Each structure stands twice: as structure tokens, then as C-alpha cells.
Amino acid sequence: MNIMFSLLSVLYVVFLYVSPFTNATPYETAEYFASFDRDVNSWENVELFESLGTELDLEMNRFVHYASVPSHWTTLTIEDDERFDGVSHFILEAGFDGEVIQTDWNEPIDDVEGKVVVLPMTVKSLELDGRDTSADPYGEVLIDDEANRHLLNLLEAGAEGYIVTPDEQEEAYYGTIYTSPRTRLPGIGVDVVTADRLTDGTHVSVEPFVDDEVPYVEFIQPGKTDEEIVILARLDGTSYGDHALWSLGGSSILYALIEQMDGIDTDATIRYVFLNGSGGGYETAMDYLETAKQAETLPSLVLSLDILGTGEDARFVRTKGMTRLPVLEQGSWSTLDVKPLGTSYLDEFHAEGVPVMSLSDSLTAEFDALTEADTIDRLSNEAMEDHVAWLTDWLATQ
């Protein structure tokens, strides 16, 4: 009996995490998404996006688009001559350059303005890098706190960036520091051979390079008029934590919303887009916007399902400058509080004259994103199902 029960349990787990079966609850869908390594450099990321929605029998059209994103790999140039590989813990948004200054973590910060600081890998980051990750299906939040505080001080002192060297015994190893994404000082790790070339006063420059194209997915529900509504949700992640608050909630709600809306006639064309990228969906959002600009089909409204699905607070909407868009005077939208919209990929749509807003249900979760509190346990299936029903009622009238 125990053997049979164990076999049935294994079959259930395999079934749950191999296929996002139809009629799954939003929370079950979030669990399915979380079972993938959604880091942009992972083959599982490609597998998830390219297969997303193929298991659904939908009337609406499904398209897989591709966008270029930066890689964790970088090019380090020394004295405009020699080139070496480097690896960034987080994908670099831009390059940096300056004269090398070698120092250590316990040394006073002095004369680093405009320079690239070379530091050895810490014992803490070396321990984190060698940990066993096989037992954690959702990922962990790992930060070398002491090193991060030092990097923040370097940033305040005007340093341009940093380079981490590995243990001298690890010839094939790249140095790294487990930084927080909120530590804005750019940096890379190098191997022993490269580390030997980094001497004080040497000029170096670091540039990210573009990786292969990555997929993102769009579902289109054709309407009867020229009006177009775009609903976006991030589904990407990084090796850093669950990204539950940023991506699992909104994307799982969007997945369920597609199922509910399929076959409903609408006046407006509705486009449902699952964004991919280096942790914030930015790259594919920009690719989508550029495609719309070239086709001269900018949408009438863009709605981002942001930090949504916790049920910790009543639904509220964010807009640029707390502007009350026309949609916010209609129906159930008119009852929502309006709060300011911070910096995000929506800024680029706004710059093109497209009305933008995001929907959330937690006032505190944005501060918990990418911390130990950013886990799938923060999501509520009851809240997620309520959001799906609420959005369906609205979209069915568009």
C-alpha cells in the first residue's frame, strides 16, 4: 500500500510540473512556472517560452517573437589592445572604463573616483558559489552582505566599476561577488590569466555583448475596431531568487485570463504578452514597442500586471504622475486608488504617447522583491482568481 501511494505521489508531482494542465488554478500555474530555471541564459527559459500556451485549445492566435538580450559574458579590453573574457554576476546594462586601482576589502577607500577597482574574491562568495543548489526548486536569495556594503561605498566615492579576481589556485575559475541587484556599481569577474594583466594605472574598458535571441510570447484576440489594448506580464527570472513578486503572480494571472477570454467577442483587439529578458522583461518589451512603431500600430492602452496576486491590499493602479486616464473613469476602474508609477519599461511606451498603467495589490511587496521575502508563498490563489474574474469582466466589455 505504501509503495502504491508513493508511486501515485510521484506521478502527481511529475504531472504537475511537466505540463500546465488546463483548468489549473493560477497558483498551480505559478508553481509550474517556478519549476523552470527562467534565467535568460538557461535552456529551460527557451523551453518554457517556446512551449507556452501550446497545450491550450485556443481560438486566439499565438505568436512567438524573438529579441536580443545581453549576456553575462563581457569583453574586457586592456590598453585598447588585449581582449579577455569576463563574467558579470548580473547582466550589465552598460559598459564601464577607467584606470585600474588594486585594493582589498578591508582597506580604506581612497582615490577611486573615475577608476576601476580590482578586488579579490571573498571567502563568503566562494562558499556561496560552491553550495549545493539541487534541493531548492525555486531558488535562493544569496548576498555577500559585507562585500555589498563595500561596493556601495565605492559607488558613493565615484568608482566607475570593479573587477573581481579568483583564487590563484583556480586557473579555470572566474571571480565573482554575490551582489544585490540594488547594488548599482557595475562589475565583472575574471580568471587568473586576466588577473595577472591588471596592474595599477592600466586602462581597461568593459563591454557587455549581445547573446542569442530569446523568445517571448504573444496571444492576439482580434477585435472589430482599430482600438488595441496590450496587457503585459513578466515571466523571466534570474538565478537570484524566485522572482515570485515580479513575475510569477502577474504571469499566472495572465495565463488564466487568456483561458477565460478566449472565444469572447470584443470591439478592441486585445494582445496578451508574456515578457522575457534579464530579470525585468525590459529587452522584450522594447522589442515589442519597436515592432509596433515600425508597423505604426501603437496600442490605445498598455496595462502591466505588476506585483499582483498577493491579496495583501485592495487592488490599486499606478500611472505616470498619478494621471487619471479615461479608463479610470469607467466601471470598476473608477473605484481604484491611483498611485504614482515608478521607473519601468512602461516609460518607453509613455514616451511614445501611449497611455500606460500597472495593476498591483500590495503596497509593501515592491520593497520585498529580490529579498528573502520574495517567495511563491506570498501569492494567494484566492486573490489571483479574483483578479482574473475582475479583469475578464472588464475586457469582455471592450
**Domain harbouring 226, CATH code:** 3.40.630.10
Domains of the chain: total: 2
One domain, residues 129 and 277: no
Query: Does residue 344 lie in a domain region?
Result: yes
Go through 54-80 and write b for each residue having 16 or more CB atoms within 10 A of its CB, e for each that does not: eeeebebeeeebebebbbbbbebbbee
Number of Cβ atoms within 10 Å of the Cβ of 12: 10
C-alpha span between 280 and 297 (Å, rounded): 24
Residues 46 and 102 reside in one and the same domain? no
- Print pLDDT tens along the chain (398 aa): 333 333 333 344 444 444 554 679 999 999 999 988 888 777 898 999 999 999 999 999 999 999 987 778 899 999 988 899 999 988 787 899 999 999 999 899 989 999 999 999 998 988 887 765 544 444 456 788 999 999 999 999 999 999 999 987 766 689 999 888 778 899 999 999 999 999 999 999 999 876 668 899 999 999 999 999 999 999 988 665 557 888 899 999 999 999 999 999 999 999 999 999 876 788 899 999 999 999 999 999 999 998 999 999 999 999 998 899 999 999 999 999 999 988 788 999 999 999 999 999 999 888 887 777 888 999 999 999 999 999 999 999 99
User: In terms of domains, do 223 and 268 share one?
Assistant: yes
Q: Which of 160, 178, 201 is the last residue of a domain?
A: 201
- 377 and 266 within one domain: yes
CB burial string 114-152: b at 16+ within 10 A, e below: ebbbbbbbbebbbebbeeeeeeeebbeebbbeebbebbb
Q: What is the CATH number of the domain that holds 164?
A: 3.50.30
Both 167 and 288 in one domain: the answer is no
Domain boundary at 201, 230, 246, which?
Answer: 201
Task: Assess if residue 129 is contained within a domain.
Answer: yes
Domain co-membership, 338 together with 308: yes
**Res 10: pLDDT:** 38
Q: Which three cell numbers stand for residue 119?
A: 578586488
Residue 216 and residue 337 in one domain: yes
Contact 116, 100 (CB under 8 A): yes
- Decide if 280 contacts 237 (C-beta within 8 A): no
**Residue 391 is assigned to a structural domain of this protein:** yes
Residue 2 lies in a domain: no
**How far from chain centre, in Å, is Cα 398?**
30
CA nearest neighbour of 280 among 204, 366, 372: 366
Which domain, by its residues, includes 237? 17-69+212-395
Residue 11: inside a domain, yes or no?
no
275 and 383 both lie in a single domain: yes
Single-letter amino acid, residue 176: T
Same domain flag for 197 and 220: no
**Nearest CA to 270 among 359, 356, 392?**
392
| Domain shared by 59 and 94, yes or no | no
Within a domain: residue 7? no
Is 234 among the domain residues? Answer: yes
Q: Is the pTM of this model over 0.75?
A: no
Identify the domain boundary among 151, 173, 201: 201
Whole-angstrom distance, CA of residue 384 vs CA of residue 364: 17
Distance separating alpha carbons of residues 345 and 281, to the nearest angstrom: 8
Q: In terms of domains, do 224 and 326 share one? A: yes
Q: Is residue 207 part of a domain?
A: no
Summarised one tens digit per residue, pLDDT across range 64-105 is 999 987 778 899 999 988 899 999 988 787 899 999 999 999
pLDDT for 270 = 98
CA terminus-to-terminus distance, the chain: 54
Do residues 59 and 129 share a domain?
no
